[in-house]
């Protein structure tokens, strides 16, 4: 932990010289890659150690090969990039990485000093701030979707203009119907033409089908993993749960992701029975919040059962027409469209994981996390599942009220202990 803090301090001291700061960032990632291979954390299951390497390597690859990388948001159809050999840099994860080395404050200040509203979500502000301080390498192109997150389009537009990078925005309608499937499919075709032109290579449809076949296999393994969560206790932390977003979204369809899911299933099958209380999270868990770290990370008393975002689309993608399949996947995401879809997903997850309590950490600036909160409260009341909502910030640590969080969290955990 101290090494990470010192690393963050070195970067902070060099923020005024972006070349140096970037060189230190790159060096740190290279060292982290070697360190993780040589000194794996024995208390962490092998699958999660492997996943951590995938995550570190993805950012490392971006720094080493920006010309073969794209900035993307979490919902971008990266299957197409994997089939074309392009590396996606998942911007929300990059912000999480920078917050992990505790430099988010300086980056948020830089974004706000450039005129970005302080009410914008900190995942975006950190990425924008790294753009302001030139802690980003210029990519050849970026893609984002209009769905779910209302901050995305503005963030991508701003940085694409600043870095003079072509941007493709996929407009994903709210409703699922045939007309909208065709509308999204047409955009995917246009986006592919743009990528082919910019990167000077053609998309091979057979390769795309291979990527999607691996994605479908990965989803099958994920569903089997889910079946085990009600009975088994996988030793994990909020950080590892968040790492799973790489596997469940941006890196789905890659060989290494399929290997990860195979390992994850083996780990949960071998794990001891669940003895303590199980807690499920809605949206994302606050991985840097001290009280949450104390009560949940590798805890025998309160197991982390996961969070819904990792399960937002579990259906098989049809191989017959891969682009139509991807269009359906985007439109049918549980977070897209009416809130009933999200409730249906949560209902299925409650059934499978059988939690003792559910926590929704309402991330500051995220309208989709806040919207529908009363519907969720009603749902959990009807199901008689203890439910806690807490306001705070996953990324910007100074936005968290440690004392208040402690009081409310401990009162909630006490209720759960006594049930
Ligand atoms: S937390 Fe909300 S606003 Fe922020 S990136 Fe995620 S979906 Fe968007």
User: Count of CB atoms within 10 A of residue 14's CB?
Assistant: 16
Question: CA angle at residue 3 from 7 to 361, to 5 degrees?
Answer: 85
- Residue 138: pLDDT band with limits 50, 70, 90: very high
Tell me, letter by letter, the H, E, C secondary structure of the chain: CHHHHHHHHHHHHCCCCHHHHHHHHHHHHHHHHHHHHHCCCCCCCHHHHHHHHHHHHHHHHHHHCHHHEEEECCCCCCHHHHHHCCEEEEHHHHHHHHHHCCCHHHHHHHHHHCCCCCCCCHHHHHHHHHHHCCCCCCCCEEEEECCCCCCHHHHHHHHHHHHCCCEEEECCCCCCCHHHHHHHHHHHHHHHHHHHHHHCCCCCHHHHHHHHHHHHHHHHHHHHHHHHCCCECCCCCHHHHHHHHHHHHHCCCCHHHHHHHHHHHHHHHHCCECCCEEEEEECCCCCCCHHHHHHHCCCCCEEEEEEHHHHCCCCCCCCCCHHHHHHHHHHCCCCCCCHHHHHHHHHHHHHHHCCCEEEEEEECCCHHHHCCHHHHHHHHHHHCCCEEEEEECCCCHHHCCHHHHHHHHHHHHHHHHCC
Mean pLDDT to the nearest integer, 118-134: 96
**Smallest Cα–Cα separation from 241: which of 290, 295, 296?**
296
Please tell me the distance from the alpha carbon of residue 26 to that of residue 13, in angstroms, as a whole number: 16
First to last CA, the chain: 36
Q: Whose CA is nearest to atom 5 of ligand 1?
A: 123
Q: What is the mean pLDDT of residues 34-44?
A: 78
How far apart, in Å, are the Cα atoms of 253 and each of 70, 82, 209, 257, 266? 17, 7, 10, 7, 19
Q: Tell me the β-bridge partners of 69.
A: 87
Measured from the CB, is residue 366 less than 6 Å from ligand 1?
yes
pLDDT level of residue 280 (50, 70, 90 thresholds): very high
At 245, the pLDDT band (50, 70, 90 cuts) reads: very high
How far does CA 163 lie from the centroid of its chain? 24
How much is the pLDDT for 39? 74
Q: What is the mean pLDDT of residues 354-379?
A: 92
- pLDDT of 41 > 90? The answer is no
121 lines ligand 1 (CB under 6 A): yes
92 lines ligand 1 (CB under 6 A): yes
Taking alpha carbons only, the member of 291, 337, 288, 330 closest to residue 313 is 330
Q: Ligand 1 center to residue 144 CA distance, Å?
A: 13
Cβ–Cβ under 8 Å, residues 369 and 121? no
As a whole number, mean pLDDT of residues 203-212 equals 98
Tally of residues, the chain: 419
Does residue 179 register a pLDDT over 90?
A: yes
Ligand 1 atom with the smallest distance to the CA of 152 is 8
CB neighbour class for 351 (10 Å; exposed up to 12, middle 13-18, buried from 19) = exposed
- Residue 122 CA: nearest ligand 1 atom is 4
| Tokens read off for 310 | 């990792």
**Which tops the pLDDT comparison, 29 or 386?**
386
What's the whole-number average pLDDT of the chain? 94
Mean pLDDT of 191-203: 98
Largest CA distance in the chain: 62
Instruction: Quote the percentage of the chain above a pLDDT of 70.
Output: 100
C-beta of 368 in contact with ligand 1 (< 6 A): yes
Closest to 92 (Cα-Cα) out of 47, 128, 138, 133: 128
Most ligand 1 atoms within 8 A of CB, residue of 335, 363, 396 to mutate: 363
Q: How confident is the model at residue 1 (pLDDT cuts 50, 70, 90)?
A: low
Instruction: Give the burial class of 33: count Cβ atoms within 10 A of its Cβ; 0-12 exposed, 13-18 middle, 19 or more buried.
Output: middle
Answer for the pair 198, 166: CB distance below 8 angstroms, yes or no: yes
Model pLDDT for residues 302-344, shown as the tens digit of each residue: 999 999 999 999 999 999 999 999 999 999 999 999 999 999 9
Give me the pLDDT at residue 7, please: 86
Ligand 1 geometric centre to CA of 145 (Å) = 12
Stretch 184-195: mean pLDDT, rounded?
Answer: 98
Which of ligand 1's atoms lies nearest the C-alpha of 394?
1
Per-residue pLDDT, 290: 95
| Contact yes or no for 301/277 (Cβ under 8 A) | yes
Least confident of 40-44, 45-49, 201-205: 40-44
- CB hemisphere CA count around 337 (13 angstroms): 18
Q: Residue of the nearest CA to atom 2 in ligand 1?
A: 366
């Amino acid at each position: 932990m101290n090494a990470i803090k010192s690393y963050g301090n070195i970067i902070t001291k060099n923020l005024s010289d972006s070349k140096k700061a970037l060189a230190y960032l790159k060096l740190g990632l290279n060292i982290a890659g070697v360190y993780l291979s040589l000194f794996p954390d024995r208390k962490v299951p092998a699958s999660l150690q492997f996943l951590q390497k995938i995550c570190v390597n993805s950012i490392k690859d971006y720094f080493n090969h920006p010309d073969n990388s794209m900035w993307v948001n979490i919902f971008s159809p990266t299957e197409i990039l994997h089939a074309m050999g392009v590396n996606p840099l998942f911007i929300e994860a990059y912000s999480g990485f920078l917050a992990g080395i505790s430099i988010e404050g300086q980056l948020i200040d830089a974004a706000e000093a450039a005129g970005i509203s302080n009410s914008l979500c900190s995942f975006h502000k950190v990425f924008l701030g790294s753009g302001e301080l030139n802690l980003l390498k210029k990519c050849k192109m970026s893609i984002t979707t209009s769905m779910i997150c209302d901050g995305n389009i503005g963030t991508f537009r701003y940085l694409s203009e600043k870095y003079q990078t072509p941007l493709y925005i996929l407009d994903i309608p709210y409703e699922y119907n045939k007309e909208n499937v065709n509308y999204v499919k047409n955009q995917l075709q246009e986006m592919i033409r743009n990528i082919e032109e910019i990167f000077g290579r053609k998309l091979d449809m057979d390769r795309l089908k291979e990527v999607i076949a691996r994605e479908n296999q990965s989803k099958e393994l994920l569903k089997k993993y889910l079946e085990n969560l009600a009975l088994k206790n996988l030793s994990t932390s909020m950080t590892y749960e968040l790492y799973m977003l790489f596997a469940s979204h941006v890196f789905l369809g890659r060989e290494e992701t399929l290997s990860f899911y195979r390992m994850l299933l083996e780990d949960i099958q071998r794990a001891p029975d669940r003895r303590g209380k199980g807690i499920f999270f809605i949206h994302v868990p606050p991985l840097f919040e001290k009280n949450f770290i104390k009560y949940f990370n590798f805890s025998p008393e309160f197991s982390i059962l996961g969070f819904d975002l990792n399960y937002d689309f579990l259906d098989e993608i049809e191989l017959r027409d891969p682009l139509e399949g991807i269009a359906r996947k985007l439109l049918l995401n549980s977070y897209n469209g009416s809130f009933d879809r999200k409730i249906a997903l949560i209902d299925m997850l409650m059934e499978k994981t059988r939690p003792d309590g559910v926590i929704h950490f309402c991330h500051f600036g995220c309208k989709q996390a806040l919207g529908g909160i009363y519907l969720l409260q009603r749902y959990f009341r009807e199901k008689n599942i203890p439910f806690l909502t807490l306001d705070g910030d996953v990324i910007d640590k100074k936005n968290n009220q440690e004392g208040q969080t402690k009081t409310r969290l401990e009162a909630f955990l006490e209720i759960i202990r006594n049930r």
